[in-house]
Structures are given as C-alpha cells and as structure tokens.
Amino acid sequence: MLVIEGPSGNGIGKSIASSLGCDFLESLHTIFPDGESEVGITAPVEGKDVVIVQSTCPMPDKRLIELVLLANEAKRQKARSICAVVPYLAYSRQDQRFEEKGNAVSIYTILEMLNFAGISTMVTAAPHNSESLKAFNGRMIVADAITPLANEVKKDLSKPFVLAPDKDALYIAKRFAEVLGCGYTYIKKQRNKLTGEVKILEAPKDVDFKDKELVIVDDMISTGGTIVQAAQFAHANGAGRIVAAAVHLVMADGAYERMRGAGVDAVYGTNTIPYDRARAHTVDISDAIAAAIRSKAAPTKA
C-alpha cells in the first residue's frame, strides 16, 4: 500500500502512512498564475493499492478537481486499487432538491465524479448525511472521528450536558453523552421542503440546563449560525459554560466571532480541515482514519 498526500491532505496522509506502516509520497503540486492546479504522482504506482488523502475545504472546487486529477493519474498508471481519504467531503450538504428553488442535488454528481475518476473506496468522517453517501458506487467507509473529539472535550469539563442543535446531529450527541457519561437532548426543527428554510418547532423542555456545562455538538460548523441559535437558547435556559464541538471546522468568515458573541466559550474540532489552533482545540483524527482503512468496514456511528 502507498499513501499519497494530496495538496490539501493537511498532514493526515503522513500520519496514517506511519500508523499503517506503509510507503508514503507527497503529490506534485503547483498552482499556475492562471489559477490552474498541476498535480502529479512522482513514483510508479502500477499494481499498487493507492490511498490518496485530500480534504476538500477550503477551496472545495479546486480540491475536488485536484483529487479527480490525482485519482485518474493513478488509474492511468494502472494502480491496483484507488482509495480516497476525504476527511471532509465538500457538497455533502447539497443533498436535497427544493422544488421552489430548482437546485441540483450536487452531492450525487460529486460522488459519481469521484467514482468515474477511478476511486473505488472512500473514507470520510462525520458525513453530513450518511444516506446520500450510499449513492457512491463503491465502498464508503466512515471513520469514527466523534470519539476522539468527545474524549478531548471530556478533559476540560466536569458537569457536562450535550445538546444537538437538530435531530440530524442526535447521533453525535448520543456518542458524546456516552463518552462524557452525561445526558443529552436535541432541538426539534423543521425544514421547509419548498424553500429550504429552517424553523424551530420545539425546544427541549424536559431538561434542566442550570449550572451545566453545555456541549453543543454538530458534524460541522460553517457560518456558526446553527450553533449560535442553540447557544442563545441554552443561555436563556440557564446554562453555565457553553462550548461547541464539531468534527469539521469549515469556519466561514466571521463564524468564530459570531459564536463568541453568542457566549460560546470554546470551540473544539478536528484536523479534517486546517484551522487556526489558537481559536479551536483541534484533535488529530489520523488514527481513526488508519483504523477505518485497516478494518475496511464502517465503524458504528453511535
């Protein structure tokens, strides 16, 4: 097996190669003045099982094209198999069509495109919607990035309680609660099928946040809007310290400031996306990914 770190592998490639005890190669990478990427595989891969590590944030389109180019190059060089480790998979949230809007369900096309490029196995972490990933015409392995993240949060809190900002994040809250040995709940919401708008239907009323250290968990933080909404609710209901934890720190411009402004005391995440370590506690999930590759089977989600 040969692990190739793509231009946005974020060091995970090197770590998993060392963890798996296999060969490692950094891909050739240049960005030309016109904005085009040049990539290349500078060692022969014919007959080899190749693992390409490439996260797809920031610059999702550039990182996806680079992954397609690298995978297709491995295919042309007659690699025996091509596995793509995509710790954060861009376009995962574009998983529904809203009739009024007429938007494309992009994640299906992205998965088909990666498969077309020669990728037969994919490894990712905390997918936004596991159901849509089933459309991938190959093996999809989900590495357990949630447990190491929860373990990191555990170090800092003594009276935790876990809150999922919506039902989709409930499986993450459940796993966190197991690790932290505490209770958990979620906020009921509804998304308008026509417009995509989200409305809070019902907030959890059966729990007492008073004096609790609230851990708001989600698969990703993008603008921070979802976390802010949950934090405001938690504060209004007497929560003490509030922290936010998400596997993928997409962190669009202003996300950190927005959360801090809503009283989020600390942010926890992983290295599926490069992010400022001074602003968030980040956990390396290379071991979880290496374990997923070793097992060649999807770990349980909860």
The smaller minimum CB distance to a second copy, of residues 93 and 281, is found at: 93
Of 14, 189, 193, 212, which one is the catalytic site residue? 189
- β-partners of residue 3 are 24, 51
- Compute φ and ψ for 147, nearest 5 degrees: -60, -50
Nearest distance from C-beta of residue 256 to a second copy, angstroms: 13
For position 135 contacting a second copy by CB under 8 A, the verdict is no
For position 46 contacting a second copy by CB under 8 A, the verdict is no
Nearest distance from C-beta of residue 60 to a second copy, angstroms: 5
SS3 assignment, position 267: strand
Nearest distance from C-beta of residue 129 to a second copy, angstroms: 15
For position 261 contacting a second copy by CB under 8 A, the verdict is no
For position 116 contacting a second copy by CB under 8 A, the verdict is yes
Task: Point out which span in 2-10, 91-99, 158-166, 260-268 binds a second copy (CB under 8 A).
Answer: 91-99
User: Measuring CA to CA, which residue among 57, 29, 53, 56 is closest to residue 41?
Assistant: 29
The label of the residue with tokens 């949230």 reads 93
Residue among 2, 20, 117, 217 that touches a second copy (CB under 8 A): 117
For position 37 contacting a second copy by CB under 8 A, the verdict is yes
Tell me, yes or no, if 189 is annotated catalytic: yes
Residue among 10, 54, 94, 272 that touches a second copy (CB under 8 A): 94
How far, in Å, CA of 135 to CA of 211, rounded?
44
Q: Which helix (H) or strand (E) holds 190?
A: strand 188-191
CA dihedral (262, 265, 269, 273) positive or negative: positive
Task: Point out which span in 13-21, 32-40, 171-179, 180-188 binds a second copy (CB under 8 A).
Answer: 32-40
For position 189 contacting a second copy by CB under 8 A, the verdict is no
Q: For residues 194-253, which are near a second copy according to CB under 8 A?
A: 222-223, 250, 252-253
User: Measuring CA to CA, which residue among 231, 221, 226 is closest to residue 268?
Assistant: 221
Name every residue whose Cβ is closer than 8 Å to that of residue 229 and which is 6 or more positions away in sequence. Answer: 165, 187, 200
Give how far Cα 175 sits from Cα of 17, 185, 192, Å: 28, 12, 28
The smaller minimum CB distance to a second copy, of residues 98 and 168, is found at: 98
For position 147 contacting a second copy by CB under 8 A, the verdict is no
How far, in Å, CA of 110 to CA of 90, rounded?
9
Q: Which helix (H) or strand (E) holds 63?
A: helix 60-76
For position 73 contacting a second copy by CB under 8 A, the verdict is yes
CA dihedral (236, 238, 240, 244) positive or negative: negative
Residue among 18, 36, 296, 297 that touches a second copy (CB under 8 A): 36
For position 93 contacting a second copy by CB under 8 A, the verdict is yes
Task: Point out which span in 33-41, 158-166, 184-192, 287-295 binds a second copy (CB under 8 A).
Answer: 33-41
How far, in Å, CA of 99 to CA of 286, rounded?
40
The smaller minimum CB distance to a second copy, of residues 41 and 234, is found at: 41
Instruction: Say if CB 54 and CB 41 are below 8 A apart.
Output: no
- Compute φ and ψ for 52, nearest 5 degrees: -105, 125
Query: Which residues would be at the binding site for a second copy (CB under 8 A)?
Result: 28, 32-42, 57-62, 64-66, 68-70, 72-73, 76, 90-91, 93-94, 101-104, 106, 108-109, 112-113, 116-117, 222-223, 250, 252-253
List residues with catalytic annotation. 189
